[in-house]
Structure 1
Amino acid sequence: MDYYDILDVDRSATDDDLRRAYRRLAMRWHPDKNPNAKMEAEAKFKDITEAYSVLIDGGKRALYDQYGEEGLRAGGAPPTHHGGADDTFAEFFGSTPFTYCSTGAGNSARAKQQAAWDAGGGGSFFRDPGGATTTVAPPPPPVESKLACTLEELYVGVTKKMKISRNVVDGSGRMKTESEILSIEVKPGWKKGTKITFPGKGNQQWSQLPADLVFVVDERPHDVY
């Protein structure tokens, strides 16, 4: 496991670089934000937290840079578990994961945060480790794209490979274009209009979570039917 790759930062990354990378990735991959891909999100969230916890600690980072994971284990660095990942998230943002903080009111609930995002409401407010308030805008509406399938493919099933390009904000806060190939398993019996959602695979803007990408099954015209 390469902690620098996980956080998408250079080996010369400063603590500020690490905090920016963690803020972006933790908000994107928190399991509560990815109910349709919870297992994948939990694994990524754990790796992101482990990488950040090691690299932000000067002693652990020095051990890791010189000896890798073996050096950390020999030095007694404990592995990060899911509860610890949530604790790190809460410490970093100054609140429990995805808690909505209304202006002047202490009434907070994870469901209200999600409802505010779903309704396209205002941003959410978090405190960074330095005590400053950061506004994270809700994600934009999902981006929909057609997934053309033949009648035969919908009948027997097929795996489609879709290449996407999207704008993302990297660990240093710069906008870049990222390409990726997504694998979609079309199951036998799917109908036109079936939707497949890839959380956080749409475009991203500064101080905003990336949009979800949704493929909508479309049936190609058949020569006979």
Structure 2
Amino acid sequence: MGVDYYNILKVNRNASDDDLRKAYRRLAMIWHPDKNPGPKKHEAEAKFKQISEAYDVLSDLQKRQIYDLYGEEALKSGQVPPPPRSGPHHFRTQPHPNPSFRFNPRDADDIYAELFGGSSSESNGRARGTRDGFFRSTGADFSGTSTGTRPGTTPRKAPPVENELQCSLEDLYKGAEKKMKISRTILDYYGTLRSMEEILTIEIKPGWKKGTKITFLEKGNQEPGVIPADLVFVVDEKPHAVFVRDGNDLIVSKEISLLEALTGKTLEVTTLDRRNLMIPLTEIVKPGYEVVVPNEGMPISKEPRRKGNLRIKIDVRYPARLSEAQKSELRRVLART
């Protein structure tokens, strides 16, 4: 017989029209190309076409009759054997198919649009125009039943679910990869709700700021009649022991003695990527003094080759007490300035 259409749709040979529709809907959900991007897309396209062809044949009375009696080859070639001669000892249990029958397969997208609502062109346009177009355009769920929306309308989508994503300042400076384990409810092959775990990979880009959102489309819980929620991770920045971030700038505080403030000093700063910067102080340091080192702050996410500034705030440490001799010496020295 060649291709076994009954096996493709996973129905028995006595399947009713309703059985065929339910089987097609269930399998079309799983193998629609828009729900299988990446490496599985070609396999999904072939499966989807096969499922559609099986439904096309078995849901058409004449096609199904020829297929049941003579198989796929006769169906597609149109070479239907002539009716047997009637005689006193011959009884025909089924009517003979029309010998002039020609097999005209229907388009897979037309079948899909017919069962899920909307025209073929509408369904294709929406599905291919959005990243999450399959659920948006069909209004269907994994149980193989309609969501109850009118043809051509968009089913309700669950509100997004937000989760905090803790990142160190080093993560946001250098970039990082984080693995997030999630647990969610899905509708399986048979339309039954079950729990599954999944690992999501988040690529932290250098320069991302607190409040940056990373969205995984439709990774929330599935339920009949509702488009799953988007899963959103919101970046939060952990406090750092040395640096404070101010936009694209990094601020670090350094304390020096009064003598160093007056006579000079070379400051050493270890950056977030473990480089040592040597910054000389050659001027007299006054209250509120700040040294600005260009291009040593945080990376600018939209301009990868640029960084903000490193700002070094200087705090002068005064002596707790001075002896009379020290005071006298200071008066002598400073009186000349």
Q: For residues 125 and 182 of structure 1, do their structure 2 counterparts lie closer, same or farther at Cα, with a shift above 3 Å needed?
A: closer
Does the 8 A contact of 1:49 with 1:88 survive in 2? no
Q: Which position in structure 1 is the counterpart of 2:29?
A: 23
Does the 8 A contact of 1:124 with 1:135 survive in 2? no
Q: Which position in structure 2 is the counterpart of 1:138?
A: 156
Q: For residues 143 and 218 of structure 1, do their structure 2 counterparts lie closer, same or farther at Cα, with a shift above 3 Å needed?
A: same
Q: Which position in structure 1 is the counterpart of 2:118?
A: 95
Q: For residues 143 and 47 of structure 1, do their structure 2 counterparts lie closer, same or farther at Cα, with a shift above 3 Å needed?
A: farther
Q: For residues 87 and 12 of structure 1, what CA distance do their matches in structure 2 show?
A: 18
Show CA shifts across 1:153-208 (max 9, x none).
Answer: 00100011111110011121100111111111111011111111111111111122
Structure 2 residues not aligned, in runs of 5+: 1-6, 12-19, 56-106, 131-135, 150-154, 244-337
Does the 8 A contact of 2:168 with 2:238 survive in 1? yes
Q: For residues 109 and 52 of structure 2, what CA distance do their matches in structure 1 show?
A: 17
Q: For residues 11 and 125 of structure 1, what CA distance do their matches in structure 2 show?
A: 22
Does the 8 A contact of 2:31 with 2:45 survive in 1? no
Q: For residues 219 and 85 of structure 1, what CA distance do their matches in structure 2 show?
A: 50
TM-score by length of 1: 0.56
Q: Which position in structure 2 is the counterpart of 1:54?
A: 50
Does the 8 A contact of 1:125 with 1:135 survive in 2? no
Show CA shifts across 1:78-105 (max 9, x none).
Answer: xxxxxx77556434423247959xxxxx
Q: Which position in structure 1 is the counterpart of 2:184?
A: 166
Structure having the larger proportion of residues in helix: 1
Q: For residues 188 and 121 of structure 2, what CA distance do their matches in structure 1 show?
A: 22
Q: Which position in structure 1 is the counterpart of 2:174?
A: 156
Amino acid across the alignment from 1:20 = R
Is 1:205 aligned to residue 211 of structure 2?
no
Amino acid across the alignment from 1:140 = A
Q: For residues 146 and 204 of structure 1, what CA distance do their matches in structure 2 show?
A: 22
SS in 1 for 2:197: strand
Show CA shifts across 1:115-150 (max 9, x none).
Answer: xxxxxxxx98869xxxx9652542201111111110
Does the 8 A contact of 1:202 with 1:210 survive in 2? yes
Q: Which position in structure 1 is the counterpart of 2:331?
A: none
Q: For residues 21 and 192 of structure 1, do their structure 2 counterparts lie closer, same or farther at Cα, with a shift above 3 Å needed?
A: farther
Q: For residues 154 and 173 of structure 1, do their structure 2 counterparts lie closer, same or farther at Cα, with a shift above 3 Å needed?
A: same
Provide the aligned C-alpha RMSD in A. Answer: 4.1
Aligned length: 161
Give the superposition deviation at 1:46. Answer: 5.8
Q: For residues 149 and 93 of structure 1, do their structure 2 counterparts lie closer, same or farther at Cα, with a shift above 3 Å needed?
A: same
Q: For residues 153 and 177 of structure 1, do their structure 2 counterparts lie closer, same or farther at Cα, with a shift above 3 Å needed?
A: same
Does the 8 A contact of 2:147 with 2:224 survive in 1? no
TM-score by length of 2: 0.39
Give the superposition deviation at 1:12. Answer: 8.6
Give the superposition deviation at 1:217. Answer: 0.9
Q: For residues 95 and 46 of structure 1, what CA distance do their matches in structure 2 show?
A: 25
Identity %: 42
Amino acid across the alignment from 2:25 = R
